[in-house]
Amino acid sequence: MLSNERFVSGAPAAVVDKERKKKADAEAKIAVIEQQLAGLRK
């Protein structure tokens, strides 16, 4: 959704902030999983 400029410009700030938080949480989870995978590959 955040890549959709129309959504970002038209949605209430609270909704956009919520989507940004969801994105940041997902990226953090991905980083943890990637670290775990790197540890398994050793």
pLDDT tens digit sequence for 1-42: 999 999 999 999 999 999 999 999 999 999 999 999 999 987
Rounded distance between C-alpha atoms, residue 27 and residue 32, angstroms: 9
**3-class SS string, the chain:** CCCCHHHHHHCCHHHHHHHHHHHHHHHHHHHHHHHHHHHHHC
pTM of the model: 0.79
**What residues does each domain of the chain span?**
5-41
> Residue 41 has what pLDDT?
85
